[in-house]
Amino acid sequence: ETTVTQSPASLSVATGEKVTIRCITSTDIDDDMNWYQQKPGEPPKLLISEGNTLRPGVPSRFSSSGYGTDFVFTIENTLSEDVADYYCLQSDNMPYTFGGGTKLEIK
């Protein structure tokens, strides 16, 4: 099973600042990493799918990079509406596994 270690667990930034979240996998997963945003009471929303592919309709301030075992998710110019939990998911091998999540707050 591939373990996904996500950091940080939480962060607080001012609007306009840059957010960086990292996921490290215990096995090489090529580029099969996905990134989700979840707001309270809602299901996760896919922002970026495998191959660092921004999903249709997702603002370009969201991006990701990485290949193999080290992956980074970035929000440029963070807005107040970006307050949420963020999760990474490896879809390279079953069981698919999620990172532990990052809680983003705005100062």
User: What are the residues binding other proteins (CB under 8 A)?
Assistant: 1, 34, 43-46, 48-51, 55, 87, 89, 91, 94-101
User: Least separation, in Å, of the C-beta of 17 and other proteins?
Assistant: 25
Q: Give me the least distance between CB of 22 and other proteins, in Å please.
A: 15
Q: Which helix (H) or strand (E) holds 68?
A: none
DSSP letter, residue 80: G
- Identity of the residue, 17 or 93, whose beta carbon is nearer to other proteins in the bound complex: 93
Q: Measuring CA to CA, how many Å separate 92 from each of 51, 71, 98?
A: 11, 14, 12
The C-alpha atoms of residue 97 and residue 93 are separated, in whole angstroms, by 9
6 touches 22 (CB < 8 A): yes
State in angstroms the smallest separation of the CB of 35 from other proteins. Answer: 9
DSSP structure class, residue 56: T
Closer residue to other proteins, CB minimum distance, 18 or 45? 45
Choice between 18 and 55, CB closer to other proteins: 55
